[in-house]
Amino acid sequence: MHRFLRQSFLYSCILLFCVSCKTYELTDAKPVSSSEKSVENLYFSSNEDYVYKCQMDIYKNHISGIVIIKKINETTHRVAMTSDFGNKLIDFEISDNDFKLNYVLPDLDKKIVINFLKNDFQLLLKQKYPVNESFENNNSKIYLSKIDNKAHYLFFNKENGLLNQIVYTKNNKEKIDFTFDAKKHIFADSLDIQHKDFKINIKLFQITDVE
């Protein structure tokens, strides 16, 4: 019996290791030649305020409120989140390389929460991506952008040219999936941020439109 339990435990560990080490691969996509040297996420490129209803699920904690995203210069955005009752929850300025925390509610002032928000919004608000490889499937043009050991797969709809999805991977493992619903290049009507190895999900829904 003990030998059987040890073998079962060993097999379970091997299975878990194999699953956790599964690399991200494009499905039903083929490599194509492309003249594109870079691509852009333009959804937050306007100088107008982007105002969204926000729902965040962090493990068993649910937070809802309003998120305002404002481009304050060519490299930096300001992000503020309030509760449904108008109380400020967090306020920060962020770019590809910098992060400045202006305010955080004491209940949210935890390193793990701040780091998740910093990383998620740095990826969400990143505008320019160098192109290393190009692919396509029936619905999308797909561009692979590599930076160090991180890779971003950007999916653009073939019919309207809009960015539908960004898959962020690290060490060839899928980490975060950004899915966009949009009618304009500069404004996403809604977006969904799904973490693949943590129980964290952020959803944003349009409140105001951007011309």
Residue 59 confidence class, pLDDT cut points 50, 70, 90? confident
Query: pLDDT for 118-159, tens place per residue?
Result: 999 999 999 999 999 999 999 999 999 998 888 999 999 999
CATH architecture of 31-206: Clam (2.50)
Q: Is 58 helix (H, G, I), strand (E, B) or coil?
A: strand
Encode 100-120: b = buried (16+ Cβ within 10 Å), e = exposed: eeeebeeeeeeeebbebbeeb
Which residue in 170, 173, 180 sits closest to 203, CA to CA? 180
* pLDDT mean across residues, the chain: 88
**What is the domain partition of the chain in residue ranges?**
31-206
CA-closest candidate to residue 41, choices 191, 205, 195, 202: 191
Cβ-based burial of 62 (10 A; exposed 0-12, middle 13-18, buried ≥19) = exposed
Other CB atoms within a 10 A radius of the CB of residue 180 amount to: 21
Helix (H, G, I), strand (E, B) or coil at 11: helix
- Residue 6 above 80 pLDDT? no
Give the count of alpha carbons within 13 A of 42, CB side only.
14
What pLDDT band is residue 211 in, cutting at 50, 70 and 90?
low
Residue 107 in this model has a pLDDT that exceeds 80: yes
Q: Residue 186 pLDDT more than 70?
A: yes
Determine contact, residues 138/28, Cβ cutoff 8 Å.
yes
Q: What is the per-residue pLDDT for 58?
A: 81
What is the token pair recorded at 104? Answer: 């955080």
What Å distances lie between residue 154 and 14, 71, 179, 198, CA to CA?
32, 22, 10, 22
pLDDT of residue 2: 38
Instruction: Determine which helix (DSSP H) or strand (DSSP E) holds 40, and give its type and residue range.
Output: strand 38-40
